[in-house]
Structure 1
């Protein structure tokens, strides 16, 4: 099983730097890392170029113009560009623990997708992490929410991961899917822009398609660096699109991954090739 990690980023190069450091220090490396970029400036390219000098696996960068928050489109392009069998979705402010990839591999199961967890350092704790360069909190770290997720207890994680169907706690910042399943449901819904609900809508269609959800608690940990919330107040058009998917039992979305078919007939360039040249 070849694991492709798709990291979505937008104009936070310091956080992306920490995420890439976490990925290159994995006890078990992925097949490739694809950074899909929703319109970042040149500073993000510089971070990627620096990591390409020593990165241990294939590293690619897919950029799209900054035209508002188009996370669904960015992720769909990353999924199509991937050459792995299994996709791990990771946000560009989620620093993975050393066993992150190994745990995703262990919990991958046909007919299911995996919902991972996260630790939430507060603003002060996040500042300390950037200052000292250490992004792996422990149970007693000051300013840490969801601190139970700092515990790696595989026996408990396996007991917790019974397949089920519930939308509660769906977060695309740490998820694992078989690539063929994402293509079958047409990926993320690109009619959904701005903040939120695109992950819940994806999960609804996955359930309608027949997939189950496995929660990965006490394994596959990642540290979600603090930032100001981008949540909207009240309902948005994304809520209405989600309601339609639920009411109609949709499996595929109309505006999805198939809009980009053929774009990556040739795989994106490995950034390490530029260094070698």
Structure 2
């Protein structure tokens, strides 16, 4: 039987406490819990902090809130701060607009393997189903209910997940989503985490994948496992995409491993063994 590693679940969020609450409730229902949950908050107002404070006393594992001031889209930066805060050797990364299948953490840990990182997918919920689910604050989504897309992404089938892990688009850096990925913390330290040159939506997840591959790691796919249901919202502003595409292309052409502006700058500020809540002033 596989022995599971200690895991941190990092949840990125910005000013949507209703969705984050559903996400955290779905974490509480996991068949295998992470060892800690870190909410990586890119500048939300006080409502998000109040939500976390309200849930913390009854939460089954340590619930940490890492916050930074709102200075525009700074996802790479807040993820780096959360990684620096983590006290576990395996990092599972999601966004706060997801509802997790009850075996999500279990599925990810089952595929954890040294020398690899894991990229997952998502199931899209339409607007009507999303609004209904948010109103009811029900953290379970049935795979056959109406309002869901991506049919093959809805099911957790362990033997099929193991079969697909090293066969599905393992060299395709575009076949991944930052809302559902997992890494060994040591590997993130090796490449200096996320590249904070990205200041707009898009491609920061592909770029870190490129650098991990350049460092000699292999990408594994989590298909038929690690299931997440994505709550509908309007698409993000893609105005920064051309510039971000250029950063990604440069990392590929230069075979970059270590980014100059990344995770290591926060390591001295984080105290994971004692931390309950942290605001970074860097």
What is the rounded CA distance, in whole Å, between the counterparts of 2:206 and 2:274 in structure 1?
29
Name the residue aligned to 1:203. 209
- The CA deviation string for residues 5-61 of structure 1, in whole angstroms up to 9 with x for no partner, is 111110000011011101111111111001111000010011101111200111111
Q: For 2:58, what is the secondary structure of its paired residue?
A: coil
**CA RMSD for the aligned pairs?**
1.5
Query: Is the CA contact 1:208–1:249 (under 8 Å) kept in the aligned structure 2?
Result: yes
What is the rounded CA distance, in whole Å, between the counterparts of 1:139 and 1:42 in structure 2?
34
Task: Work out which of the residue numbers 178, 182, 192 in structure 2 matches 1:186.
Answer: 192
Q: What does residue range 1-277 of structure 1 map to in structure 2 within 5 Å?
A: 1-162=5-166, 164-232=170-238, 235-265=241-271, 267=273, 269-270=275-276
Residue 265 of structure 1, CA deviation:
3.8
Q: What TM-score do you get using the length of structure 2 for normalisation?
A: 0.92
Distance 1:234 1:13, change over 3 A: closer
Q: For 2:49, what is the secondary structure of its paired residue?
A: helix
Query: Is the CA contact 1:136–1:223 (under 8 Å) kept in the aligned structure 2?
Result: no
Q: Which runs of 5+ in 2 are unaligned?
A: 278-282
Report the count of equivalent residues: 271
Residue 140 of structure 1, CA deviation:
2.2
What is the rounded CA distance, in whole Å, between the counterparts of 1:184 and 1:14 in structure 2?
35
Distance 1:67 1:234, change over 3 A: closer
Distance 1:13 1:216, change over 3 A: same
Query: Is the CA contact 2:37–2:61 (under 8 Å) kept in the aligned structure 1?
Result: yes
Q: What TM-score do you get using the length of structure 1 for normalisation?
A: 0.94
Query: Is the CA contact 1:97–1:220 (under 8 Å) kept in the aligned structure 2?
Result: yes
What is the rounded CA distance, in whole Å, between the counterparts of 2:83 and 2:274 in structure 1?
12
What is the rounded CA distance, in whole Å, between the counterparts of 1:48 and 1:268 in structure 2?
18
Q: Which runs of 5+ in 1 are unaligned?
A: 272-277
Query: Is the CA contact 1:27–1:98 (under 8 Å) kept in the aligned structure 2?
Result: yes
